Structure 1
Amino acid sequence: MKKQLYFVVLLIIAALALSACSEGSTEEASNADDVIDIVWYPNESASDLKSSRKAIGKMIEEETGKKVEHHLTTDYAIAIETITNGNADIAYMGAQGYIEAKNKNDTIQPLAVSTGPSGTLEDAVYHSWLAVNTDDQEKYKKDGAYSLDTIEGKKFSFVSNSSTSGFKVPSARIIGHFSEKEKYTDLTEEDLMQGGSLFSQVLFGNSHQGSAVNLLTGNANVAAFCDVCVENYVEVTEGKENTVGAVYKVSDDAAEPFNKVAGSTFTLMDVTPVLNAPIAANMDALGKADFDTLQKLFTSDKMANNEDIFVPEDSGKSGLFFKTDKERFAEVDDSWFDPIRELSK
């Protein structure tokens, strides 16, 4: 009888152990569900970019058999937190946002990065601009050349302190310049985020479009924003694109929020190349199988040749990515973003 009881207890213990293992497997698998959630920064949440977002979602649905849900945001911090805490599977985010998310959750991994015209990562860059209103451009010159010295005491607009090209890169440029002056030896990013130190007033546009509009409406004298986030709304009228001194005009039929400043012009006083932004994944939420599937999809010719995703530059259509030559997505590892990490050291 005792021997029988002993075997019964062993069976119960074994059953409980198997049950525990089964529950653990179920919990792990449940992180990768039948929906792939994509969170978008404010810049890419604009209504005129809906067709590009929809095209990406459609390709993901066809490849995975899962439903795609798009989460639009009005704040960088919300987008970063959404991917960090697993409420989204993937996110299209700047290098700085990716770094912040990975610092909080090491399961965040880069899925793909858009290349340059060569179709490689060698020229996978966009540009961070410091712009001024064209009518005021002479105020920002010193001995006939544009100078960062002239922005001291001005009203300045950044994008978000989590923006790579709308804060991190221009801040590094500004601090590098002014810290050579005795008055600003200890200048920090925190100083640039508030008026009363280098700038008389500091604004945040919450998107690159918003920062540009801060400039064009006169709320700021100088603004930081990037080329790719405003190229759907502006065109070069003088000089060569992405060069100091180039003049851009807001198109007469520009979509919101530029419709309120149609016809306005701005001039570039400073231009800095920036590493292209990644599409990042939360590996806990997405799962390795879907990650591999999506990485193969994003880097495929099928994705590169989809004109709703890589919009032909001369089409006149708005898009998240443009095709001038051989642009496509490419795999990239975490170390590729180290140059941006160095800006915080």
Structure 2
Amino acid sequence: MYKKIGSFFMVVMILSILAACSDGSAGGASSDDVIDIVWYPNESGNELKAARDEIGNVIEEETGKEVEHHLTTDYAIAIETIANDNAELAFMGAQGYIEANSKNDAVKPMVVPTGPSGTLEDAMYHSWLAVNVDDQTNYKNGDDFSLDTIEGKRFSFVSNSSTSGFVVPSSTIMENFSDKELTEEDLMEGGPLFEQVLFGGSHQGSAVNLLNGNADVAAFCDTCVENYVEVAEGEENTVGSVYKVKDNAEEPFNTVTGSEFTLMNVTPVLNAPFVANTNLLSDEEFETIQNLFSSEEIANNEAIFVPEDSDESGLFFKSGDERFVPVEDQWFNPIRELSATK
């Protein structure tokens, strides 16, 4: 009798321990008094700590809850973290949001940063295809850059879950080589089009793959590298413009300071959203944080929207009336439809 009772309590103890482990920090799940924000690799670097912390601070002040930052080294980890109910908030690209939402419809878009107009009309950044400046003539037909020239080259993408580092550029490339009837999978490996395919894991990593000689052509975006590079020749986000890595650039660009690259292709992309997991946030909490992000206080917070002429690193920059505005799921349909066509 005692043996049976002892076995029963042993089972109860084991189940309690397992339940505790599944809800603890090791699994990444947030407790009721903690809001966990998961960040892509692009925004997980030390140089952006102050910007992340300021966003956490204002959320803490508004909600009375502690904010914990979940930094990642892989797009898939960030997507799975928010989709698997292990984080309340995430800042991610349109494609990442679409993937997380398809896994868990409780993941909803909250806000996106606008363009200089302060509206969604110009809420966009840019996907680049870049080559080393000394090699640029190899990628031209006559005076103009041509995507035909990238065939047989070593190519670097960011991640196959990256909007501007894979979905948009791969669509552009497949359209250019439409006669080859390429698939998305064909572009993920060497053979069908490229000699070799690399994935940088972040936009910074893809750019460095180009600049350190591991790739001949690389896809990455303007906003993720703007803290490290400056225009050396031409206009921002213009084909043919030359960018130079700053002399004081932090990791991972500290090994390629002074290097220059040229833009051979530039494509506008919908801005990245902050998204929320509504399984973990109540309707009231969602609205509270959405209203906070959309407020004048945040729009004028120079630690969040860094003035364009500042030397400070930041997640978002202000050249006009940039701010956060609420956004609905349907706004991302152009990216969703782009992915569906592949």
- Structure 1 length normalisation: TM-score? 0.90
**Cα contact 1:171–1:189 (8 A) shared by 2:** yes
Which residue of the partner structure matches residue 331 of structure 1? 326
Compute the displacement of 1:211 (Å).
0.1
Q: How does 1:1-345 map to 2 (within 5 A)?
A: 33-179=32-178, 181=179, 184=180, 186-344=181-339, 345=341
| Alpha-carbon distance between aligned partners in 1 of 2:50 and 2:322, rounded to the nearest angstrom | 19
The amino acid across from 1:137 in the alignment is: Q
The DSSP-based 3-state class of the residue aligned with 1:58 is helix
Work out whether residues 30 and 87 of structure 2, in 8 Å CA contact, stay in contact via their aligned partners in 1.
Answer: no
Using the alignment, how far apart are the partners of 2:32 and 2:295 within structure 1?
24
Paired residue total = 313
Within 2, Cα distance between the matches of 1:229 and 1:296? 26
Identity of counterpart residues, as a percentage?
71
The residue identity in structure 1 corresponding to 2:135 is D
Give unmatched runs, 5+ long, in structure 1. 1-29
Q: 1:49 to 1:31 in 2, by over 3 A?
A: closer
What is the distance in 1 between the residues matched to 2:288 and 2:61?
A: 11
2:30–2:36 contact (8 Å) kept in structure 1: no
Cα distance in 2 for residues equivalent to 1:315 and 1:176? 39
Asked if structure 2 preserves the Cα contact closer than 8 Å seen for 1:76 and 1:206, the reply is yes
Query: Which residue type is aligned with residue 170 of structure 1?
Result: P
What letter is aligned with 1:107? A
Structure 2 CA distance for aligned equivalents of residues 121 and 93 of structure 1: 17
2-side partners of 1:342 and 1:175: how far apart?
15
The change in CA–CA distance for 1:107 and 1:34 in structure 2 (over 3 A counts) is same
- Structure 2: distance between partners of 1:258 and 1:281: 32
1:57 shift after superposition: 0.2
Q: Show CA shifts across 1:80-130 (max 9, x none).
A: 000000110000000000000000001110010000000000000000000
CA distance in 1 between partners of 2:110 and 2:205 (Å): 28
Q: Equivalents in 2 of 1:112, 1:340: separation in Å? A: 17
SS for the counterpart of 1:297 is helix
Q: Which residue of 2 aligns with 1:6?
A: none
TM-score between the two structures when normalised by the length of structure 2 = 0.90
Contact 1:37 1:69 in 2 (8 A): yes
Give the letter for the 1:269 counterpart. Answer: M
Distance 2:282 2:195 in 1: 48
CA distance 1:31–1:141, change in 2 (3 Å) = closer
After superposition, what is the alpha-carbon deviation per residue over 1:205-254, rounded to whole angstroms, capped at 9, x for unaligned? 00000000000000000000000000000000101010000000000000
Letter in 1 for 2:172: R
State how far apart, in whole Å, the 2-side matches of 1:209 and 1:86 are: 28
- The CA deviation at 1:289 is 1.5
Aligned equivalents of 1:326 and 1:334: distance in 2?
A: 23
Is the contact made by 2:155 and 2:218 (CA closer than 8 Å) also made in structure 1? yes
Describe the SS at the equivalent of 2:249: coil
CA drift at 1:159: 0.1
Greater Rg over alpha carbons, structure: 1
Secondary structure of 2:224's counterpart equals: coil
Q: CA deviation at 1:32?
A: 7.0
Q: 1:31 offset after TM fit, Å?
A: 8.0
- The letter for the 1-side match of 2:237 is N
> In the TM superposition, what is the alpha-carbon distance from 1:143 to its structure 2 partner?
2.1
Contact 1:210 1:257 (8 Å CA) reproduced: yes
Q: Distance in 2 between matches of 1:118 and 1:137?
A: 34
Amino acid at match of 1:298: F
Is the contact between residue 127 and residue 226 of structure 1 (CA under 8 Å) also seen in structure 2?
yes
> Greater shift after overlay, 278-287 or 123-132?
278-287
Match of 1:21 in 2: none
Deviation at 1:329, TM superposition (A): 0.1
Amino acid at match of 2:324: F
* Structure 2 gap segments, 5+ residues each: 1-28
CA distance in 1, matches of 2:192, 2:307: 44
SS at match of 2:250: coil
Query: Equivalent residue of 2:225, what SS?
Result: coil
- RMSD (CA atoms): 1.2
